[in-house]
C-alpha cells in the first residue's frame, strides 16, 4: 500500500513506513516526523510560544533545526520556559552559567540576543497589546499552492518587512530568512506542499483560527 501511494505522490513528498505522505524534509528522523505532524504550520497565538520560536530560530542560524529541536527541552529549562518577562531580567551571572551549559548552543552573541529580545518583547507588548497581535499583522494571504518544496521561497516581502521592523525595534538575529522560517512554523503561511497529509489539516486550522 505504501509503495502504491509513493508512486502517485508528487515530487517533494515522501511516504513513511506508516504509509503517510509527508513533506520530504519531515521523514528523516522521528523528531522531525512528530514536529511536522503536530506543530509545523499550525497557527499559534500564544505569546510565549511565539517568543520561544523566535529565539530558537535565532539559535538555529548556521545549524540544522534538528540540532535545536533535540535541545529544545534544555533550552526551555535554562531560559525560564521562554517567559520573556523573566528572560529580560537575566544578568551577567546567568549568561556565564548558560555559556557553561553543554546541553544548549553556547554562543554568547545568541544568548545575549535572546535576553535583549525578551526586553524588546516587553516593549512591543506595551505598544501593540500582544506579540501575537503584532506578528499576525504580517500573515501571508492568498498565495498560490506550491507544487514542490523547491517552489517555496526562502523569504517573502512580508518576511522582509517583518525583519526590517524587528531591526528597527532593536531585536537581533532575525533576518528575513530566519523570520520566514518562523512564519512557516507558526502558521502565518501554510507551506505543507501538495500531497502532504498535513496540508488540509493546517488549512482547516487556519480557517478556524481567530486572528489576535
Active site positions, annotated: 35, 57, 65
SS3 111: helix
93 vs 90: CA distance, rounded Å: 8
Alpha carbon 118 to its chain centroid, in Å, reads 17
Which residues, in sequence order, are bridge partners of residue 174?
none
Are 81 and 56 in contact by the 8 Å Cβ rule? The answer is no
DSSP of 138-169, one letter per residue?
G---SPPPPSSGGGS-S--HHHHHHHHHHHHT
Cell of 119: 526586553
Assign residue 20 a region (left: φ > 0; alpha: ψ between -120 and 50; beta: otherwise). beta
Cell of 189: 503561511
148 vs 167: CA distance, rounded Å: 32
SS3 22: strand
Amino acid at each position: 500500500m505504501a509503495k502504491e501511494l509513493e508512486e502517485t505522490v508528487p515530487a517533494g513528498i515522501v511516504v513513511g513506513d506508516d504509509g503517510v505522505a509527508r513533506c520530504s524534509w519531515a521523514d528523516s528522523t522521528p523528531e522531525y516526523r512528530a514536529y511536522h505532524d503536530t506543530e509545523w504550520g499550525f497557527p499559534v497565538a500564544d505569546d510565549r510560544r511565539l517568543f520561544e520560536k523566535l529565539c530558537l530560530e535565532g539559535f538555529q542560524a548556521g545549524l540544522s533545526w534538528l540540532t535545536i529541536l533535540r535541545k529544545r527541552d534544555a533550552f526551555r529549562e535554562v531560559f525560564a520556559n521562554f517567559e520573556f518577562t523573566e528572560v529580560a531580567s537575566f544578568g551577567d551571572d546567568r549568561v556565564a552559567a548558560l555559556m557553561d551549559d553543554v546541553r544548549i548552543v553556547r554562543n554568547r552573541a545568541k544568548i545575549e540576543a535572546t535576553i535583549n529580545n525578551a526586553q524588546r518583547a516587553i516593549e512591543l507588548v506595551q505598544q501593540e497589546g500582544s506579540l501575537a497581535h503584532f506578528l499576525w499583522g504580517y500573515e501571508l494571504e492568498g498565495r498560490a499552492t506550491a507544487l514542490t518544496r523547491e517552489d517555496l521561497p526562502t523569504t517573502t516581502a512580508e518576511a522582509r518587512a517583518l525583519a526590517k521592523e524587528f531591526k528597527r525595534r532593536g531585536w537581533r538575529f532575525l533576518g528575513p530568512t530566519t523570520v520566514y522560517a518562523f512564519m512557516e512554523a507558526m502558521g502565518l503561511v501554510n507551506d505543507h506542499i501538495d500531497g502532504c497529509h498535513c496540508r488540509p489539516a493546517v488549512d482547516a486550522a487556519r480557517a478556524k483560527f481567530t486572528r489576535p
